[in-house]
Amino acid sequence: MEMAPSTMAEMWTKMGSTIASFMFIWAIFRQYCPYELRRYIEKYTHTITGYFSPYIKISIHEFTGDRLKRSEAYVAVEAYLSANSSKTARRLKAEMGKDSTNLVLSMDEYEKVSDEFRGAKVWWVASKVVSPSRPMGYYPEQEKRYYRLTFHKRYREMITGAYLEHVVKEGKEIRVRNRQRKLYTNSPGYKWPSYKQTMWSHIVFEHPATFETMALEPSKKKEIIEDLVTFSQSKEFYSRIGKAWKRGYLLYGPPGTGKSTMIAAMANLLSYDVYDLELTAVKDNTELRKLLIETTSKSIIVIEDIDCSLDLTGQRKKKGGKAMGDEEKEKMEKERREAKEESNHGGGGGGSSKVTLSGLLNFIDGLWSACGGERLIVFTTNYVEKLDPALIRRGRMDKHIELSYCSFEGFKVLAKNYLRLETHPLFDTIEGLMKEVDITPADVAESLMPKSPLDDAERCLRSLIQALEEAKAEDAKKVAEQEDMSSKPIEDHGGAAATEDGVQHHENSVSEKA
Ligand SMILES: Nc1ncnc2c1ncn2[C@@H]1O[C@H](COP(=O)(O)OP(=O)(O)OP(=O)(O)O)[C@@H](O)[C@H]1O
Ligand SMILES: [Mg+2]
């Protein structure tokens, strides 16, 4: 029997208004019903519908019990769905992708997408639970995001086994492929609000340095690359020998010899993130541990100028006593540290850190340091001899790499990079001069940099020759002054002190120059 059109219309209107009233009442209920009561009702509604529904639901939460780190499963599902849902989802959100060149689409909150696996259909929903703000209103509402997977109970075994394995595996692969590498900092310049869940701030890591462009003796370069690659492929080995999967590198040498550049090259070689840890901005050992826990796998934790970051040299100073001329040296050293701190961190260090040497040692190889895995810890310093031996012993800092003045081989790499020159008649002159004086790769690079559009390769090489000749004249002047001073009997002590200062350090480096 067919219904009259007017009756049909009435019925639709009635149904529409019933649904609208129900939704209105539900909205009012959600708004004014106490949070606990609402959760209680929702819980029992789910239990009752669960008895009748043939569907199974699995939730994957962003933060699990300990709430310290995003759950790995959530992150993998997020990546999997971003790649697979952008063609079917109707509401998408866009984020900047790798190398900041493209937008990556992923499903928006409350969006539902379907997926198929070996003939079984499943549905994914991105959702969140909003917990209410605290009574004093100081902390804002907290959002707990999760993905919910729904599927028919007849596929239970396959979905909980093979399908979820497939999602996590593919999600992880997608993440590695699309990963936009990040440079993190804990510097106070980027103060985080107290309710924010992470203590690190980050920007995209875009440093172009590679080992290829680094001026370094070829055999040393090869050795470092092999060491890094072996480390990154040794997951099984580390677990077999019962050691946390991490490795410490100590980079030391005079300013401008490429320590920071090498860190960027390491990150680019292994596709790791970089955590630039500013120790003076860390309140105490507890905060240091929190920062460590929040670092992710496949990363390099860097502490630059470790000798300037903490008073890790205090014990040694007390033991050694004061030699003649030490006061002046100490003053100069203090100025150098302050200048370094300011240039590295825009003067934001503050210096009120209560991090101790033992806190730092714990950070490097305590129990907490093993969480996460696949991590490099890199320290840099200009004065390796000033660091506490405990800090840099093998096992903590496994590999000590000295970066020294530029060798002729190093110069050739720079000439190739900067001027596209493999050989030139002026190379012989440069080689001769480089044997006589020390010059940092930073100074060579600066001389080879064209200063005007008219500067051709030859002009740049001549500019380097001039810099080398000036350095040679400067050295000769210093030697003459020293000889002059040591010829006076009263200044014998001065001569002794001089063996400890920069000149001595300089000579050591010459002998090690490639
Ligand atoms: N070995 C090198 N190969 C190529 N370029 C280099 C090298 N060393 C230095 N440079 C150039 O010099 C600049 C300064 O180098 P870098 O900042 O790495 O020195 P550093 O050793 O970290 O100095 P500091 O001790 O003052 O921090 C870099 O931008 C880079 O262009
Ligand atoms: Mg540096």
Residues flanking ligand 1, CB < 6 Å:
214-216, 255-261, 382, 441-442, 445
Question: In this model, does residue 302 exceed pLDDT 90?
Answer: yes
- Taking the centre of ligand 1 as the mean of its atom positions, its distance from the CA of residue 191, in whole angstroms, is 29
> Which SS3 state, helix, strand or coil, does residue 105 take?
strand
Residue 144 and residue 197: Cα distance in Å, rounded? 12
- Taking the centre of ligand 1 as the mean of its atom positions, its distance from the CA of residue 438, in whole angstroms, is 15
Q: Which atom of ligand 1 is nearest to the CA of 344?
A: 27
Query: Which range is least confidently modeled, 20-24, 271-275, 335-339?
Result: 335-339
Query: Which range is least confidently modeled, 35-39, 326-330, 427-431?
Result: 326-330
Q: Are 60 and 71 in contact (CB under 8 A)?
A: yes
> Burial code of 342-375, b = ≥16 C-beta within 10 A, e = fewer?
eebbeebbeeebebebebbbbbbbbeebeebebb
Same domain, 239 and 371: yes
Q: How does pLDDT run across 13-63, given as a tens digit for each residue?
A: 787 777 777 777 777 766 666 666 777 777 777 677 667 778 899 999 888
Minimal-distance CA residue to ligand 1 atom 4:
214
- Taking the centre of ligand 2 as the mean of its atom positions, its distance from the CA of residue 218, in whole angstroms, is 21
Same domain, 248 and 364: yes
| Structural domains in the chain (count) | 3
Minimal-distance CA residue to ligand 1 atom 27:
255
Q: Are 62 and 74 in contact (CB under 8 A)?
A: yes
Among 446, 491, 495, residue whose Cα is nearest residue 468: 446
Same domain, 104 and 246: no
> Which SS3 state, helix, strand or coil, does residue 378 take?
strand
Q: What is the dihedral of CA 234, 235, 241, 242, to 10 degrees?
A: 150
- Taking the centre of ligand 1 as the mean of its atom positions, its distance from the CA of residue 304, in whole angstroms, is 13
Same domain, 92 and 153: yes
Residues 6+ apart with CB under 8 A from 193: none
For ligand 1, pick from 211, 260, 261 the residue to mutate: most ligand atoms within 8 Å of CB: 261
Same domain, 383 and 432: no
Among 151, 189, 149, 191, residue whose Cα is nearest residue 171: 149
17 assigned to some structural domain: no
23 assigned to some structural domain: no
Same domain, 289 and 372: yes
- Taking the centre of ligand 1 as the mean of its atom positions, its distance from the CA of residue 440, in whole angstroms, is 8
ipTM over 0.95 threshold: yes
Q: How does pLDDT run across 446-498, given as a tens digit for each residue?
A: 999 988 877 788 899 999 999 999 999 988 888 888 887 777 665 444 444 44
Q: Are 189 and 346 in contact (CB under 8 A)?
A: yes
Same domain, 394 and 280: yes
Of the pLDDT bands very low, low, confident and very high (cuts 50, 70, 90), residue 112 is confident
Residue 442 and residue 217: Cα distance in Å, rounded? 15
Six token digits for residue 47:
């239990």
Of the pLDDT bands very low, low, confident and very high (cuts 50, 70, 90), residue 339 is low
CATH of the domain at 288: 3.40.50.300
333 assigned to some structural domain: no
57 assigned to some structural domain: yes
DSSP secondary structure letters along 242-258: T--SEEEEEEE-STTSS
Question: In this model, does residue 297 exceed pLDDT 90?
Answer: no
Mean pLDDT value of segment 240-249: 90
337 assigned to some structural domain: no
209 assigned to some structural domain: yes
Q: What is the dihedral of CA 485, 491, 493, 499, to 10 degrees?
A: 0
What does the pLDDT read at residue 141? 60
Same domain, 280 and 354: yes
Same domain, 97 and 121: yes
For ligand 1, pick from 257, 409, 444 the residue to mutate: most ligand atoms within 8 Å of CB: 257
Q: Which residues pair with 63 in a beta bridge?
A: 70
Same domain, 258 and 152: no
411 assigned to some structural domain: no
Q: How does pLDDT run across 346-402, given as a tens digit for each residue?
A: 444 445 678 888 888 888 887 777 777 789 999 999 988 888 888 888 888 999 999
Range of the domain at 430: 422-487
Same domain, 223 and 161: no
Q: Which atom of ligand 1 is nearest to the CA of 262?
A: 18
Same domain, 251 and 150: no
Q: Which residues pair with 399 in a beta bridge?
A: 249
Minimal-distance CA residue to ligand 1 atom 8:
258
80 assigned to some structural domain: yes
